[in-house]
Chains A and B, each alone.
Chain A
Amino acid sequence: GAVVSQHPSWVICKSGTSVKIECRSLDFQATTMFWYRQFPKQSLMLMATSNEGSKATYEQGVEKDKFLINHASLTLSTLTVTSAHPEDSSFYICSALRSDRGYNEQFFGPGTRLTVL
């Protein structure tokens, strides 16, 4: 199977600081990665699509200046939550799109739990 890692797995930070989350596809190359957030007992909400070598595309209602995405290589995308506030506390999950088996499938990272104090 395809493996996607995230780092860190959890982070606690003070309000106003910035937090960077890394998403790596370990055994395949991914030109496209996705970032989701999930609130407790709710479903996943797509935040943005991360494209290697180009700008990310954000879903409606997601502030691109607050959630900075960089897809630096075919195996790494980063999400930076800038000037984090308590309402940004959530479970952030990335996925990497695998396209080398005749169909596209997203493989999900283990998630990062962000708590902003």
Chain B
Amino acid sequence: ELKVEQNPLFLSMQEGKNYTIYCNYSTTSDRLYWYRQDPGKSLESLFVLLSNGAVKQEGRLMASLDTKARLSTLHITAAVHDLSATYFCAVDRYGGATNKLIFGTGTLLAVQP
């Protein structure tokens, strides 16, 4: 059974600091997705990582994928309060064959002023 685990589950950080959220998954997959969810809202797509070594950046967020280690990271640079949200990674259950996503546990990020 495919498992997708995120670490940490909760992250409280000060504005201006850097931090990394980790996403580990238990089976082979060459694509991984990162989403943001604000309270009471649905998911906003942040990054689509389609191959080993893929790195994408948008603003203060940068995501990378290491398919050999089955690990993706979401790095936050100089955090600001607007980044406070829950972040989910998701993996294609059968490595892209079915488009069925298994979501990670989520990381609740709280950026304190």
Residues on the A chain within 8 Å of B105, using CB = 43
Q: B112 near A: Cβ within 8 Å?
A: no
Q: Known contacts A43-B88, A105-B48, A108-B43: does B103 contact A32 (CB below 8 Å)?
A: no
Residues on the A chain within 8 Å of B100, using CB = 34, 46, 49
Q: A93–B48 contact, CB under 8 A?
A: no
Cross-chain contact of B106 among A43, A106, A113 (Cβ < 8 A)? A43
Determine chain A's interface SS by DSSP, over half rule.
Answer: strand
**B45-104: which residues lie under 8 A (CB-CB) from chain A?**
45, 48, 50, 88, 96, 98-104
Determine chain B's interface SS by DSSP, over half rule.
Answer: loop
Residues on the B chain within 8 Å of A107, using CB = 45
- Bound Cα distance A1, B45 (Å): 10
Q: In the complex, what's the smallest C-beta–C-beta distance from B80 to chain A, in angstroms?
A: 23
- Bound Cα distance A34, B42 (Å): 14
Q: How many residues in B have their beta carbons less than 8 Å from beta carbons of A?
A: 22
0 or 1 for each of B16-60: is its CB under 8 Å from A? (1 = yes) = 000000000000000101010000111111001010000000000
Cross-chain contact of B88 among A44, A49, A97 (Cβ < 8 A)? A44
Q: Known contacts A43-B106, A103-B48, A105-B48: does B42 contact A110 (CB below 8 Å)?
A: yes
Q: B103–A44 contact, CB under 8 A?
A: yes
- Bound Cα distance A105, B44 (Å): 12
Given A108-B45, A110-B42, 6 further pairs, Cβ under 8 A: A34-B101, A42-B106, A43-B103, A43-B106, A44-B43, A108-B42
9 A-B pairs closest in CB distance: A111-B42, A108-B43, A43-B103, A44-B103, A110-B42, A108-B42, A104-B99, A43-B106, A93-B42
| Interface positions of B (Cβ within 8 A of A) | 31, 33, 35, 40-45, 48, 50, 88, 96, 98-106
A-B contact list, 12 entries, CB within 8 Å: A32-B99, A42-B106, A43-B103, A43-B105, A44-B43, A93-B43, A105-B33, A106-B33, A106-B101, A108-B35, A108-B42, A108-B45
